[in-house]
Amino acid sequence: MDALASLAHGFAVALTLQNLGLAFVGCFLGTIIGALPGLGPSNGVAILIPLAFTLGLPATPAIILLTSVYYGAMYGGRISSILLNIPGDEPALMTTLDGHPMARKGQAGEALALSGIASFVGSLLATCGLVFLAPLLVRVALLFGPAEYFALFTLAFATLGGVASRNQAKSLIAAALGLGIALIGVDHQTGVPRFTFGNVHLYDGINFLVAIVGLFAISEVLLFLEHRGEGEHAPGKVALGRVTVPLAMLKRTWATMLRATGVGFLAGVLPGAGASLGSFIAYTLEKGLAGKGAGFGAGEPRGVAAPEAGNNAAAGGALVPMLALGVPGSGTTAVLLAMLLALNITPGPLLFQRNPDVVWGLIAALFIANVMLLLMNLPLVGLFVRVLRIPTRYLMPGVAMISFVGIYGISGSTFDLLEMIVFGVAGYLLRKLDVPLVPIILGILLGDQMEKNLRRALTISDGDWSILWGSWLAIAIWTLAIVGFLAPLVIGRFVRPKVKDTVAQ
Amino acid sequence: MNKLAAACAASLLTALCASAPAVAFEPAATECIAPANPGGGWDFTCRQVGKTLYDLKIVPSPVQVTNLSGGGGGVAYSEVVAKRDSDNDLIVAASSATSTRLAQGAYPGMTMGQVRWIGSIGADYGVIAVAKDSPIKTLKELLDKVKADPSSVAFAGGSAVGGWDHLKVLIAAKADGIDDIRKVKYVAFEGGGEAVTQLLGGHVQAFTGDLSEAKEFSDSGDIRILAVLAPKRLPGDFARFPTAKEQGLDVVGANWRGFYAPGKMSDDAYAFWVEAVKKVYASDEWKGIMKSSGLMPLDLDGAAFTAFVKDQIDKTTAISKEIGLIK
Amino acid sequence: MSDRVLGGFCLALAAFFLWRTTKIETSFITDPLGPKAFPVIIAGVLGLAGLYVLARPDARPDWPGAGRLVEIALAVGVMVAYALLLPSLGFVAATALGAGYLCWRLGAGPLEAPLAGLVISLGIYAIFHLVLGLSLARGPWGF
């Protein structure tokens, strides 16, 4: 009840005309930033901080603006994933798998509207979770040491078969490539450079945004060049279809959204896991539950709803450790944290007592932003799909140039641009060879964490491997990982005929 | 209200500034390079100092902040040395990370003499802490435990091995007479926040980081700060933390923030920037920023700052050699 | 055949990876697992997957003809040139040229292409620099 009263107070703080206006601007800019390849939520928030400073905003309005941008970017990432098969940022990666096939089938509008609703459900429930479960969840987050994180990332990898393409060996190649790329740079645990060839640009490792934009966006441009003038690859011909979600589709996906929200929220709460892991596990979980033959990967609505509910829920979850502990659960919350510090507010265990106005104003703003985003995103679906009507000869050069500037604007580095072109060419060749690109990115994002946490755990235990199953939590995750790895095989063997029947009907 | 006060302070200072002796160098389109992506420490240093410079009317137009990331600042360093060597309107954000990497040769082929060091704008002092339920009460006790059995204490920190958080522990261990500092167990996490949670969760036994990262957890009673690595007790609210020095360990670890400028910058321009950073440091506006971001006093400029950086690099080089990080 | 090349390439890459792994210089301080274990495992996985693809390749993908390959190579060349010239030409000019070229190669007419390039360039400049305030390459004319 206490939380409800505080929340009501928060709404009183947040519901002023100025704050609503800022939330609107933030949602709008955030959606655009999320949709632009190369700019994700963390960069989006970071580049808008100067704007908040320039406007001379006090703490609460500034935070409202920036969290609206944050939520907006999480919504926006899906747009380019679905329409162009280019993830706007890394949490939207999984949305390409079924979102783009839906668009190719002429269901772009439905995919956008459905994912918009899934995003809404995910972040709405996550924000509720933030209000009521924060203190409890913080305790859970603290249970995760290096050993538990290692088990968690292994769990994610064990289910990688779930996203595989037709050829398992090729998705293995892709994952290994990603893992290899993740190793480039100075090794965290010993301080020695690995695979940098003495090049200072590689000391920090490969920025995964460069890899994503290169692999997806640049290779897409090259594919269009190859197919210039051929009818079937020109999106100008794509039927726009309806721009709302049929009720039947919502009925079929609501359970998916709820499950994905739960998984995503938990992944978000853990500092060191994050939105990408949330949407990934949400997707593979749904795919596993549906069994083979459910059409995942070929434009299945559940495959769109799951990652979007998952990554938006993770965005809300990541605020739990940030607000309650002062520890960022993701890159974006790290930037928000820095922003709070600059505004003379120290997040941490005492934040709720010391600055209740800010905290509850912020949480109220999250609810407001969320409703605003839904209201903004559903009518705009009709506008977004019109992007597909832009002739390829103008759209694709625009996409290429936005990709370049997205990377250059953040890093200011020509080397990053060249790196991105290399990824683009590689992405083109790999696509021609039917090697899936998603496991490469997952390899970069997750593999790095897997190695780091394993080595941290072994450092702590002086090389004693039993630390890896030294707690009940670790054992529970290992059990899940083993089940997650074996279940598709077992289900594939025994349940497949039944699933096929239901699909056939 | 606050804004109004700040504006008054700014205009007051402008009046004072106007009476200062004219400097021969006139800044034009000034630029501050943040050698990292938006949102990081260097980015904030550039943006906040840039804003203060403009608010105080020290520069005629807003300072353009350029992000040039890569190589832990190495890309920006070599860019400045190679291409912007005589740019009079350019300053670059730097910190202990810069001097640590220079010392360890992580900027290949670069030395501190290739740029001009302008001044510092504050420092964040190192701390060593344990969880609240730990039986250890002083830094000495902790280090004695390490001395007796190095594997009994795992230190968690936010920097990579060989980075600043790690070096602080090693310097302290050395001061306590631990012979083989390579045996000190250090676990690298992504950022101080993650390291603190590992301490709270009981996965490690000690935390090494900066005061700004640890203060809030100390206020809430979750962790016990054993020592601040400052030369003397810090002012105000921070005075309750004991220093390492008063515990008989001569260890000072300051994560300073400051600026360097291109190596062939004209003397007039260099003098201008040294003076400009000094003015920023002295302003009320900056004092407010320091307070809110947990920065502690450290005002060194020109020659004194250059000597300070050199000293830090020499010390880092020595200890890095000892642990075999550099040959 | 394409898949056999891919498999062979993966094997070679795995071997290269192993060779570079042996070159990693460890210092006196090292954790129990060390920096070399993961590279070795990954090289192993990559090599095995490569072998599998080498032994059981998929059907040949339909590669574009020589003309289109030259087209793609030229576009990559233009992108590289764009990246290299960006700091000296400035953002607007370089982007207009780059985007104009791509528009032209994707089928825009000789008049439309440069125009479209300019519009794309100015549009991006407006959004990224004027609205979002990112610093783009300044070039000789300041934009």
Q: Which of B247, B270, B293 is where one domain is finished? A: B247
Q: What is the pLDDT of residue A233?
A: 46
Q: Residue A16 has what DSSP assignment?
A: S
B40 and B75 in one domain?
Answer: yes
Find the domain containing A288 and state its range: 2-494
The string of pLDDT tens digits covering residues C60-119 is 888 888 888 999 999 999 999 999 999 889 899 999 999 999 999 988 888 899 999 999
Interchain CB distance below 8 Å, C75 and A222: yes
Q: What is the pLDDT of residue C140?
A: 75
Q: Which amino acid is at A318?
A: A
Task: Please state the separation of Cα B146 from the chain's center in Å.
Answer: 27
For residue A354, is it within any domain?
yes
User: What is the domain count for chain C?
Assistant: 2
User: What is the domain count for chain B?
Assistant: 2
- Regarding predicted confidence, which is higher, A328 or B272? B272
Shortest alpha-carbon distance between residue B193 and chain A (Å): 5
CATH number of the domain that residue B215 is part of: 3.40.190.10
Name every chain C residue with its beta carbon within 8 A of the beta carbon of B325: 27, 29
What's the predicted TM-score (pTM) here? 0.83
CATH number of the domain that residue B270 is part of: 3.40.190.150
The string of pLDDT tens digits covering residues B4-56 is 344 434 444 444 444 444 457 888 889 999 998 776 778 888 988 998 999 99
Q: What is the pLDDT of residue A257?
A: 94
What are phi and psi for residue C135, nearest 5 degrees? -90, 120
Considering Cα of A101, then A102, then A108, then A111, what sign does the dihedral take?
negative
Q: Residue A167 has what DSSP assignment?
A: -
Q: What is the pLDDT of residue B314?
A: 93
> Mind giving me the DSSP string for B24-65?
S----S-EEEESS-TTSHHHHHHHHHHHHHHHTTSSSSPPEE
Interchain CB distance below 8 Å, B66 and C28: no
B155 and B83 in one domain?
Answer: no
| High-pLDDT (> 70) share of chain B, % | 93
Residue B222 pLDDT exceeds 50: yes
Angle between helices A392-411 and C112-124 (to 10 degrees): 40
Q: What is the pLDDT of residue B1?
A: 36
Q: What is the pLDDT of residue B17?
A: 40
What are phi and psi for residue B250, nearest 5 degrees? -80, 75
Helix (H, G, I), strand (E, B) or coil at B258: strand
Interchain CB distance below 8 Å, A188 and B160: yes
What distance in Å separates the CA atoms of residue B253 and residue B210, rounded to the nearest whole number?
A: 9
What distance in Å separates the CA atoms of residue C117 and residue C114, rounded to the nearest whole number?
A: 5
For residue B271, is it within any domain?
yes
Q: What is the pLDDT of residue B6?
A: 41
Read off the pLDDT of each residue in C33-51 and give the average, rounded to a whole number: 91
Find the domain containing C24 and state its range: 2-55
C80 and C51 in one domain?
Answer: no
Instruction: Give the closest residue to C17 by CA, choosing from C48, C53, C52, C44.
Output: C44
Query: How many contacts, defined by CB atoms under 8 Å, are there between A and B?
Result: 168
Name every chain A residue with its beta carbon within 8 A of the beta carbon of C121: 401
Compare all CA atoms of chain C with the CA of B33 and give the residue at the minimum distance: C135
What distance in Å separates the CA atoms of residue A23 and residue A21, rounded to the nearest whole number?
A: 5
Q: Which of B247, B270, B291 is where one domain is finished? A: B247
C76 and C48 in one domain?
Answer: no
Interface-testing mutation among C25, C27, C86, C128, with chain B (most B C-beta atoms within 10 A): C27
What's the number of CA atoms in the CB half-sphere (13 Å) around residue A23?
25
Q: Which two tokens stand for residue A348?
A: 């941490």
For residue A504, is it within any domain?
no
Which residue from A142, A204, A415 is facing B197, i.e. has the nearest CB? A142
What distance in Å separates the CA atoms of residue A6 and residue A387, rounded to the nearest whole number?
A: 43
For residue B16, is it within any domain?
no
Q: What is the pLDDT of residue A489?
A: 63
- Regarding predicted confidence, which is higher, B80 or C60? B80
Q: What is the pLDDT of residue A229?
A: 67
Contact A421, A263 (CB under 8 A): no
For residue B5, is it within any domain?
no
For residue C140, is it within any domain?
no
CA distances from A461 to A449, A465, B187 (A): 18, 8, 11
**Per-position b or e across A129-166, b if 16+ CB within 10 A of its CB:** bbbebbeebbeebbebbbbbbbbbbbbbbbbbbbbbee
Interchain CB distance below 8 Å, B324 and C135: no
Q: What is the ipTM of this complex?
A: 0.93
What subunits touch chain B, counting only 3 or more CB pairs under 8 A? Answer: A, C
For residue B12, is it within any domain?
no
For residue B214, is it within any domain?
yes
Compare all CA atoms of chain C with the CA of A39 and give the residue at the minimum distance: C128
Q: Which amino acid is at C50?
A: G
Which residue from A47, A190, A393 is facing C27, i.e. has the nearest CB? A190
User: What is the domain count for chain A?
Assistant: 1
Q: Which of A151-160, B165-174, B227-236 has the lowest mean pLDDT?
A: A151-160
Q: Which of B215, B247, B279 is where one domain is finished? A: B247
B117 and B259 in one domain?
Answer: yes
Q: What is the pLDDT of residue A239?
A: 59
Q: Which two tokens stand for residue A391?
A: 């002739």
B242 and B136 in one domain?
Answer: yes
For residue C143, is it within any domain?
no
Name every chain C residue with its beta carbon within 8 A of the beta carbon of B324: 27-29
> Mind giving me the DSSP string for chain C?
-HHHHHHHHHHHHHHHHHHHHHTPPP-S---SS-TTHHHHHHHHHHHHHHHHHHHS--PPP-PPPHHHHHHHHHHHHHHHHHHHHHHHH-HHHHHHHHHHHHHHHTT--TTHHHHHHHHHHHHHIIIIIIIS-PPPP-TTTT-
For residue A503, is it within any domain?
no
Q: What is the pLDDT of residue A272?
A: 67
Name every chain C residue with its beta carbon within 8 A of the beta carbon of B65: 135
B163 and B96 in one domain?
Answer: no
Compare all CA atoms of chain A with the CA of C78 and give the residue at the minimum distance: A421
C122 and C72 in one domain?
Answer: yes
Which residue from A190, A226, A462 is facing C35, i.e. has the nearest CB? A190
What distance in Å separates the CA atoms of residue B245 and residue B233, rounded to the nearest whole number?
A: 9
Which runs of consecutive H residues, i.e. helices, occur in A270-355?
275-290, 301-317, 319-325, 331-342, 351-354
For residue A501, is it within any domain?
no
For residue B24, is it within any domain?
no
For residue B111, is it within any domain?
yes
Interchain CB distance below 8 Å, C27 and B65: no
Q: What is the pLDDT of residue B142?
A: 95
Find the domain containing B137 and state its range: 125-247
The string of pLDDT tens digits covering residues B197-211 is 899 989 999 999 998
Per-residue pLDDT of chain A (505 residues; tens, 9 = 90+): 477 888 888 888 888 888 889 999 899 888 888 888 777 787 788 777 777 766 777 878 888 888 899 999 988 889 989 988 888 778 888 999 999 999 888 888 889 999 999 999 999 999 999 888 877 887 888 888 999 989 888 887 777 665 655 677 888 899 899 999 999 988 888 878 888 888 888 888 888 888 888 998 899 889 888 887 665 444 444 556 677 788 888 888 999 999 999 999 988 888 767 778 888 888 988 888 887 677 888 889 999 999 999 999 998 888 888 887 777 767 788 778 777 776 767 777 777 777 788 888 888 888 999 999 998 888 888 888 777 778 888 888 988 998 898 888 878 888 999 999 999 999 999 989 988 888 888 888 888 888 999 999 999 998 899 999 989 999 998 988 887 777 666 655 554 444 443 333 3
B130 and B101 in one domain?
Answer: no
Give chain B's mean pLDDT: 86
B117 and B148 in one domain?
Answer: no
What are phi and psi for residue B119, nearest 5 degrees? 175, 170
Contact B124, B255 (CB under 8 A): yes
Name every chain B residue with its beta carbon within 8 A of the beta carbon of A191: 104, 160-163, 325
Q: What is the pLDDT of residue C128?
A: 82
- Regarding predicted confidence, which is higher, B236 or A473? A473
For residue B7, is it within any domain?
no
For residue A271, is it within any domain?
yes
